[in-house]
A and B are shown apart, each in its own frame.
Chain A
């Protein structure tokens, strides 16, 4: 029982750090630039496809993942320069329409380049198999690697935001973007850098998820929905909020799926319990989001600007 709980907590943690890598870029772009970017999931897909393609060509998954990051960053930069740079002054509806168009475009582009069938990406050899984290509880090594990568990214991002000049501008931008522009900061360049950074992180997430998930067209959309839940819970514009939100969502979703059906069975007849348990498990994170919004309408770490 206890061993299973530990395993499920690790599973939740792994999902959480994955979501953090995607949500961090999303929350920065939304928080600092005020852009509602639905195309962020496309960058995650680009990362996964780039990793799968390079791994298939060279035989090295690690190289694939390393290449995926700059490719996704470049894709982010391109999207920002070509489309989003023209939309900063427009309202959110225009941004939603334009970035949704990019999602459709990116999906068809990937289909033209790589075909309609999912691609293959394996776990790198060094991380194949399982590790016995507790006696009798083997855990996939690759999931441990994902957790590690996620924590390193979180640490690096915290340093960048708290300790660097770029970080200072990002924090200032999230507080009051007009004031930052008025102070003579080249706001156009800051935006471009932020978009590339967001793309890099989303691409990394897609690349490390590739060995676990299906690398296929449209893989960015379900993840994007979860990432939006994360940044709404965490507070838009806050990287710390994205981290907390991602862990909360990852754990709530995993533990909900693991234990809600059983809890339901304890109080209801089996047939009804399976129905209600499964339905509740699907809704867990949305119920959680509603609860957080009811208490703190701007999210746990929100409340600025």
Chain B
């Protein structure tokens, strides 16, 4: 044991940059990310993997230029060894290649753009959440399993919207009756909902992140369609961060996710109870991902004995990801993205009358993302 070194290291803790969206549109997601991450640190008494850490929390305001500036400052002035926190893919694409080039390890707590999973993968980039397509793929498979044959697909007219439909169709083999592209940030979906009614499909898939999804689900319910045409989507519009705002309109919606409040393992039970005790609300997927990103960093720090200059040990420890995951088992694939189980969940009411998700079925076992084969690491 190198106790002396450990004690010397403790004097100045390992610096971690938590760069996330804390103001402007999408701030709720960043707050959940931060709270999940900090819960893991607090639970371990200010340490990760037995190593004292000093977490610098910085707001990116959901603006790429702000994110890049803040990241540069974290790396050059604060000398952080590890970074995490970015919620949105366009910000991740602006920041991650810069900081990983400077030998800072970036552990994504949400964004998983395909560019960084395939040809653009990097030994210093880990994704603790998913590859962006995963939840759409899970939803497609869930629709297929539910035996729903004719679908209308709705997504905003921007790159992630198109990617979502591609991901959905990778595992949905039925008939796509109509593909509707909406404006990004659209408020009113009356025209689209009327079209869905006229198309008479068996189900509707929506990828409408943030407020768009809240608007759509409320309006879909108010139009009286929810009973007739089942609604499906990735977890983004149906998780704990938005369910209280959507209300009963979300009841019964089936959504694809890699985690759920009711996943039956000890780590998850402790996480959900701990989060609720600390913050007086239920954790969202974003909070879970922040929490797990912290534990993945902890696995690396433990392997390196807290010496962040031992980059190889740090990376090797993180690749092994030796910790009790709230997702049950957790491991990284060759591109350092999760190889994980994916589930179909349904929005229900719990015994306290709160809207929550319950697992309906497991749709993928140890799912590997579609870009892993293109990643030539090292």
Interface residue ranges, A against B (CB under 8 Å) = 4, 7-8, 11, 14-15, 107-108, 111, 115-120, 122-123, 128-130, 138-140, 142-143, 211-219, 222-223, 254-255, 257-258, 261, 274, 278-279, 281-282
Alpha-carbon distance A215/B180, docked complex (angstroms): 25
Give min CB distance, B289 to chain A, whole Å.
17
Residue contact A7 to B194, C-beta cutoff 8 Å: yes
Going nearest first, the 9 A-B pairs with the smallest beta carbon separation are: A11-B190, A118-B245, A214-B214, A278-B181, A214-B211, A116-B28, A116-B27, A130-B224, A140-B222
Interface residue ranges, B against A (CB under 8 Å) = 22-25, 27-28, 30-31, 157, 179-183, 185, 187-188, 190-192, 194-195, 197-198, 210-212, 214-215, 218-219, 222-224, 241-242, 244-248
Q: A120-B245, A211-B218 are in contact. Are A278 and B157 (CB under 8 A)?
A: yes
Contact of A213 among B180, B211, B223, B247 (CB under 8 A): B211
Alpha-carbon distance A136/B190, docked complex (angstroms): 17
Residue contact B245 to A130, C-beta cutoff 8 Å: no
Q: A4-B194, A120-B244, A122-B247 are in contact. Are A213 and B157 (CB under 8 A)?
A: no
Alpha-carbon distance A218/B26, docked complex (angstroms): 10
Q: A117-B28, A118-B245, A214-B214 are in contact. Are A274 and B179 (CB under 8 A)?
A: yes
Alpha-carbon distance A122/B221, docked complex (angstroms): 11
Contact of B191 among A218, A219, A254 (CB under 8 A): A254
Alpha-carbon distance A214/B245, docked complex (angstroms): 7
19 A-B contact pairs sorted by A residue (CB < 8 Å): A4-B197, A11-B188, A15-B188, A111-B23, A115-B28, A120-B245, A120-B246, A123-B222, A128-B222, A138-B223, A140-B223, A142-B222, A214-B215, A215-B245, A216-B211, A218-B25, A254-B190, A257-B183, A279-B157
DSSP class of B's interface residues: helix, strand, loop or mixed? helix
Residue contact A281 to B194, C-beta cutoff 8 Å: no
Give min CB distance, A18 to chain B, whole Å.
8
Most A-side CB within 10 Å, residue of B179, B218, B241, B242: B218
Alpha-carbon distance A117/B212, docked complex (angstroms): 14
Contacts of A212 in B (CB 8 A): 188, 215, 218-219, 222
Contacts of A118 in B (CB 8 A): 28, 211, 214, 242, 245
Q: How many A-B residue pairs have CB under 8 A?
A: 113
Residue contact A15 to B190, C-beta cutoff 8 Å: yes
Q: A118-B242, A120-B247 are in contact. Are A219 and B211 (CB under 8 A)?
A: yes
Contacts of A142 in B (CB 8 A): 222
Q: A212-B188, A278-B157 are in contact. Are A117 and B244 (CB under 8 A)?
A: yes
Residue contact B218 to A4, C-beta cutoff 8 Å: no
Most A-side CB within 10 Å, residue of B192, B224, B246: B224
Residue contact A117 to B241, C-beta cutoff 8 Å: yes
Contacts of A143 in B (CB 8 A): 190, 222
Alpha-carbon distance A11/B188, docked complex (angstroms): 9
Alpha-carbon distance A128/B248, docked complex (angstroms): 12
Residue contact A281 to B183, C-beta cutoff 8 Å: yes
Alpha-carbon distance A116/B187, docked complex (angstroms): 19
Most B-side CB within 10 Å, residue of A7, A15, A129: A7
Residue contact A217 to B215, C-beta cutoff 8 Å: no
Residue contact A107 to B24, C-beta cutoff 8 Å: yes
